[in-house]
Amino acid sequence: MTIDYRPNFLLGIEEITNSSIPFLINTMPLINQAKAIIQNNWRDGFSIPTAKLYPFQWNWDSGFVSMGVSHYDISKAMEEINFMFSGQWENGMLPHILFHSEDETSYFPNFDFWESSVNAGAPDKPKSSGITQPPVFGFVLEEIFNKYPDDPKVIDFIKTLFPKLVRYHNFLYQHRNPQGDGLFFIFHPWESGRDNSPLWDDSMNRIQIDKDKLTQYTRRDTQVADASERPTQEQYDRYVYLLELGKKFQYDGPEIAEQSPFLIQDCMMNSILIKSNDSLIKIGKQLGFDTTQLESWQALSKSNFSEKFWNEDLGFFVCYDQRAGRQILHKEIGGIIPLFANVASKEQAKKIATYLQDIHNRGYYLCPSFNIDSPLFDSKRYWRGPVWPQMNWMIYRGLLNYGYDELAEIVRADLIELVSKLGFYEYFESEKNKLNFISKGYGGNNFSWTASSIISFLMQE
Ligand code: GLC
């Protein structure tokens, strides 16, 4: 496979010269494009996901980017993570957005709308949002540790970061798990990283908006991206409503669990927490940290996981709507992530692998973000059907965990093909036959996590 797809901005980018790896050489242009994109999105110590649409530092984006960057520039990767943790709150929360530059006023909801100062433990600088995102940094740290086990600079960095990560997980167990089952809740769809997934429709539709009580606001996303690829206005009003509810209770008050109409235990986020716990336990043991607390959290989370999230009729992992007291019965991409966390049984993993194989056989790129057989599936609209790069990376690893190597390879190859054909977009069409009619991906272009996922796929050992 030889791909030459060089955009103009590639000029001056360093070439990889390791001629002993033929596959790498063949795909070199793609890797170099990916590096160039991250370089262009670099802002004095951290990356933004993409200019215009997302001009700040995003939490889980930052995790995936630092993992990709660690393949060729470990200092930069550590800097990115340090910048992220400079925004950690005293209660341990790691915000979903850090607004390092306060003069960038074109984004909504901006730092002044979030008003994180309502919480006395939120740093004044950088300003931040008041919610979190999937807790990826534990496993990111393990990836870095495994790559540089003997580098004293890296070990120092990990030792400094380790307690901060434990504090972050502590926040999830203390402030987001009043029921004590070790599976934390979210109160805003943006926390899940899968903003407008059909998963949240019923819970969001319960929210009755009184327009007179909602603070007036102007959306910015639809000015910089195609509205047909973005959440609807009704959805956006509810996002703002939940933001204001969180703010009212300083973003960490117990009233949130009592009053939020949106209260979900997300299968994907809890899988990622378990995966990150596991990484921290491994690293902690090797570096001489006390891991007792992590181990007892981990045992609790794991013991309740299947009971809460597995649905035998669907043969799939699902989310749990705590407010309604029931599972959310949809096959959605987050339900595949338990494989990444090694928390699925062999039988469960087999059902999920069969589901993916079937989608592949029916002419779809892996992995569509929502069940292709559902009337709610929409191959173009954000989290309602398209393929997302960083999800492919986690699913790839998950399938390898359970010995589905060939399927894993399809997941990897599909992303590489999509990016080669359509560019480094935020997310992609999942129906193969639609590629005859389109020439680009969806959402923002020159996207950092797309670039870093390609790097992680092409530069892995
Ligand atoms: C969107 C995505 C979210 C991501 C953010 C920045 O909000 O849904 O997962 O972190 O964009 O890329």
pLDDT band at 341 (very low <50, low <70, confident <90, very high): very high
Please check the confidence at residue 21 and state whether its pLDDT lies above 80.
Answer: no
Q: Which residues contact 51 (CB under 8 A, 6 or more apart)?
A: 40, 41, 446
Are the beta carbons of 340 and 275 closer than 8 angstroms? Answer: yes
Question: What pLDDT is recorded for position 15?
Answer: 35
Angle at 232 between CA 231 and CA 238, to 5 degrees: 90
Respond yes or no: is residue 195 known to be catalytic: yes
Q: Which range among 55-59, 197-201, 231-235, 361-365 shows the weakest confidence by mean pLDDT?
A: 231-235
Residue nearest to atom 2 of ligand 1 (CA): 193
The predicted model gives 367-371 an average pLDDT of 98
Q: What is the model's pLDDT at position 104?
A: 65
Measured at the CA of 459, the angle between CA 156 and CA 4, to 5 degrees, comes to 140
- From 46, 133, 195, 222, give the residue whose CB has the most ligand 1 atoms within 8 Å, as the site to mutate: 195
CATH code: domain of residue 111 = 1.50.10.10
Nearest CA to ligand 1 atom 3: 193
Label residue 1 by pLDDT band (50, 70, 90): very low
Computed over every residue of the chain, the mean pLDDT equals 92
How high is the pLDDT of residue 222?
Answer: 83
Contact 240, 214 (CB under 8 A): yes
Please tell me the distance from the alpha carbon of residue 140 to that of residue 357, in angstroms, as a whole number: 28
- The encoded tokens of residue 118 equal 């309502």
The tokens for 31 are 């890797």
| Ligand 1 center–CA 49 separation, angstroms | 8
Both tokens of residue 12? 């001056």
Domain count within the chain: 1
Q: How far is CA 318 from CA 134, 305, 310, in A?
A: 16, 11, 6
Q: How far is the CA of 306 from the centre of ligand 1 (A)?
A: 27
Say yes or no to pLDDT of 4 above 60.
no
Answer whether residue 292 shows pLDDT above 60: yes
Q: How much distance in Å is there from the Cα of 23 to the middle of ligand 1? A: 31
Strands (E), 7-158: 57-58, 97-99, 127-128
Residue ranges making up the domain that contains 92: 4-459
pLDDT of residue 461: 67
Ligand 1: distance of its center to the CA of 193 in Å?
6
Nearest CA to ligand 1 atom 4: 193
Distance (angstroms) between ligand 1 centre and the Cα of 108 equals 13
Encode pLDDT of 83-129 as tens digits: 999 999 999 999 999 999 877 677 889 999 999 999 999 999 999 99
DSSP labels, 115-149: -GGGSTTS-SSSEE-S------HHHHHHHHHHH-T
d(CA 415, CA 365): 8
Ligand 1 atom at minimal distance to the Cα of residue 447? 12
The residue whose two tokens read 């639809």 is 222
Catalytic residue among 195, 237, 244, 431: 195
Take atom 12 of ligand 1 and give the residue whose Cα is closest: 49
Model confidence at 403, pLDDT cuts 50, 70, 90, reads very high
* Residue 80 and residue 47 in contact, taking contact as beta carbons nearer than 8 Å: yes
Which is the catalytic residue, given 61, 266, 378, 426? Answer: 426
pLDDT, mean of residues 238-260: 97
332 as an active site residue: the answer is no
What pTM value is reported for the model?
A: 0.93
Average pLDDT over residues 151-168: 98
**pLDDT at 23 (0 to 100):** 44
Query: Alpha helices of 119-232 — where are they, by DSSP H?
Result: 137-147, 152-175, 189-192, 201-205, 221-224
The CA 392 to ligand 1 mean position distance, Å, reads: 15
Model confidence pLDDT, tens digit, residues 315-339? 999 999 999 999 999 999 999 999 9
Q: How many CB atoms lie within 10 A of CB 231?
A: 20
Give the binding-site residues of ligand 1, using a 6 Å CB cut-off: 49, 54, 58, 60-61, 193, 195
At residue 20 the predicted structure's pLDDT band, cuts being 50, 70 and 90, is very low
Q: In this predicted model, what pLDDT tens digit does every residue of 36-56 receive, in sequence order? A: 999 999 999 999 999 988 999
Predicted local distance difference test score (pLDDT) of residue 227: 80
| pLDDT value of residue 212 | 82
pLDDT of residue 296: 98
Ligand 1 atom nearest to 59, measured from its CA: 10
Whole-number Å distance, alpha carbon 54 to ligand 1 midpoint, is 8
**Of all atoms in ligand 1, which is nearest to the CA of residue 195?**
8
Q: What is the DSSP letter of 8?
A: G
Atom of ligand 1 nearest to the CA of 194: 8
Count CB neighbours of 422 within 10 A: 17
Confidence (pLDDT) at 12 = 32
Cβ within 8 Å of residue 247, ≥6 positions away: 114, 115, 118, 130
Summarised one tens digit per residue, pLDDT across range 77-88 is 999 999 999 999
Give burial (CB, 10 Å; 0-12/13-18/19+) of 115. Answer: middle
Which numbered atom of ligand 1 lies nearest the CA of 60? 10
